[in-house]
Structure 1
Amino acid sequence: MDSQPKRTLHLFKGFGIELEYMIVSKTDLRVLPITDKLIYDEVGKYVSDVEFGDIAWSNELVLHVVELKTQGPAKSLEGLCSKFQEHIRKINQMLEKHDAMLLPTGAHPLMNPDTDTKLWPHEHNAVYEAYNRIFNCKGHGWANLQSTHINLPFADDEEFAKLHAAIRMVLPVLPALSASSPILDGKATGMFDTRLDVYRKNQLKIPSITGKVIPEPVFSKKDYEEQILQRMYHDVAPYDPEGTLQEEFLNSRGAIARFERNTIEIRLLDIQESPVADLAIAQATVAVLQALIAERWVNLEKLKQFDENRLADILENVIEHGQEAIIRDLEFLSCFGFKCTDNCTAGELWRHLAAECVVLEEQPDVQHALNVILSRGNLAKRILEATSQNPDKQTIVKVYSQLATCLHKGGVFLPEKPC
Structure 2
Amino acid sequence: MLLSKGFEIEVYTGTPEGEVVGMSDKIVATLDGFVREPDSRNVEYTTPPSYRYERSLCDLVRPRTQLRQYLKQLGNYTLIPGSTLSLGGADRFHRSDPENPYHDYIEQTYGTKVVTASVHINVGISDPEVLMRACRLVRLEAPLYLALSAASPFLDGEVTGYHSTRWGLFPKTPAHVPLFASHAHFINWTEAQLAAGTMQNVRHLWSSVRPNGDRRPYNLNRLELRICDLVSDPIALLAITALLEARLIQLIENPDLDPLKLSELSPEELVTLTDQNESLAAKASLQAELRHWRDGKLILAQDWVEELYGEVWSIAKKHGFSCFLLPVKKILREGNEAQRWLKLQQQGWDSQHILMDAIQTMQTQELALQEELLVA
The TM-score bracket by the shorter chain reads: 0.7 to 0.9
8 Å contact kept, 2:235–2:327: yes
Are the structure 2 counterparts of residues 365 and 314 from structure 1 closer, same or farther at C-alpha, using a change threshold of 3 Å?
same
Instruction: Give distance in 1, aligned partners of 2:148 and 2:351.
Output: 26
Deviates more, 1:150-159 or 1:176-185: 150-159
Which among 174, 186, 189 is matched to residue 210 of structure 1?
Answer: 174
Residues 1:125 and 2:79 are matched in the alignment:
no
Instruction: Give distance in 2, aligned partners of 1:131 and 1:230.
Output: 21
Which among 289, 297, 303 is matched to residue 326 of structure 1?
Answer: 289
Instruction: Give distance in 1, aligned partners of 2:39 and 2:209.
Output: 22
Partner of 1:90 in structure 2?
A: 66
Percent of residue pairs bearing the same amino acid type: 21
Residues 1:345 and 2:307 are matched in the alignment:
no
Residues 1:249 and 2:249 are matched in the alignment:
no
Partner of 2:114 in structure 1?
A: 142
Instruction: Give distance in 2, aligned partners of 1:292 and 1:390.
Output: 45
Which among 338, 342, 349 is matched to residue 384 of structure 1?
Answer: 342
- Post-superposition Cα deviations, 1:329-376, rounded to whole Å, max 9, x if no partner, equal 47358xxxxxxxx84311111122223313379779845632321211
Deviation at 1:179?
0.8
The one-letter amino acid of 2:6's match is G
Are the structure 2 counterparts of residues 36 and 364 from structure 1 closer, same or farther at C-alpha, using a change threshold of 3 Å?
farther
Partner of 1:108 in structure 2?
A: 85
Normalised by the length of structure 1, the TM-score is 0.76
8 Å contact kept, 2:149–2:336: yes
Which among 203, 212, 230 is matched to residue 258 of structure 1?
Answer: 212
Deviation at 1:180?
0.9
8 Å contact kept, 1:23–1:64: yes
Partner of 2:227 in structure 1?
A: 268
Are the structure 2 counterparts of residues 131 and 368 from structure 1 closer, same or farther at C-alpha, using a change threshold of 3 Å?
same
Instruction: Give distance in 2, aligned partners of 1:402 and 1:95.
Output: 15
Are the structure 2 counterparts of residues 369 and 157 from structure 1 closer, same or farther at C-alpha, using a change threshold of 3 Å?
closer
- Post-superposition Cα deviations, 1:197-216, rounded to whole Å, max 9, x if no partner, equal 010xx36xxxxx2325xx41
Residues 1:17 and 2:7 are matched in the alignment:
yes
Which among 188, 195, 218 is matched to residue 226 of structure 1?
Answer: 188
Residues 1:402 and 2:365 are matched in the alignment:
no
Q: Please state whether the residue corresponding to 1:270 is helix, strand or coil.
A: coil
- Post-superposition Cα deviations, 1:55-113, rounded to whole Å, max 9, x if no partner, equal x3222222121212123x22334431233212212211111132111112222311322
Partner of 1:41 in structure 2?
A: 30
Which among 254, 273, 278 is matched to residue 310 of structure 1?
Answer: 273
Deviation at 1:235?
3.8
Instruction: Give distance in 2, aligned partners of 1:232 and 1:268.
Output: 21
8 Å contact kept, 1:109–1:396: no
Deviation at 1:320?
1.2
Deviates more, 1:299-308 or 1:165-174: 299-308
8 Å contact kept, 1:148–1:269: yes
Instruction: Give distance in 1, aligned partners of 2:58 and 2:5.
Output: 16
Q: Please state whether the residue corresponding to 2:46 is helix, strand or coil.
A: strand
Deviates more, 1:394-403 or 1:86-95: 394-403
Q: Comparing both structures, which one devotes a greater share of its residues to helix?
A: 2
8 Å contact kept, 1:105–1:270: yes
Structure 1 portions without partners, runs of 5+: 1-10, 43-49, 51-55, 204-208, 238-244, 334-341, 412-419
Deviation at 1:147?
0.8
Deviates more, 1:302-311 or 1:317-326: 302-311
Q: Please state whether the residue corresponding to 1:174 is helix, strand or coil.
A: helix
Instruction: Give distance in 2, aligned partners of 1:389 and 1:363.
Output: 37
RMSD: 3.0
8 Å contact kept, 2:18–2:359: yes
8 Å contact kept, 1:165–1:217: yes
Are the structure 2 counterparts of residues 82 and 328 from structure 1 closer, same or farther at C-alpha, using a change threshold of 3 Å?
same
The one-letter amino acid of 2:62's match is E
8 Å contact kept, 1:57–1:66: yes
Q: Please state whether the residue corresponding to 2:12 is helix, strand or coil.
A: strand
Which among 55, 65, 73 is matched to residue 79 of structure 1?
Answer: 55
The one-letter amino acid of 1:15's match is K
The one-letter amino acid of 1:357's match is V
Residues 1:181 and 2:152 are matched in the alignment:
yes
Instruction: Give distance in 1, aligned partners of 2:344 and 2:161.
Output: 15
Instruction: Give distance in 2, aligned partners of 1:36 and 1:158.
Output: 40
Instruction: Give distance in 1, aligned partners of 2:285 and 2:237.
Output: 17
Are the structure 2 counterparts of residues 360 and 99 from structure 1 closer, same or farther at C-alpha, using a change threshold of 3 Å?
farther
Are the structure 2 counterparts of residues 406 and 365 from structure 1 closer, same or farther at C-alpha, using a change threshold of 3 Å?
farther
Q: Please state whether the residue corresponding to 2:86 is helix, strand or coil.
A: coil
Q: How many residues align?
A: 356
8 Å contact kept, 1:18–1:68: yes
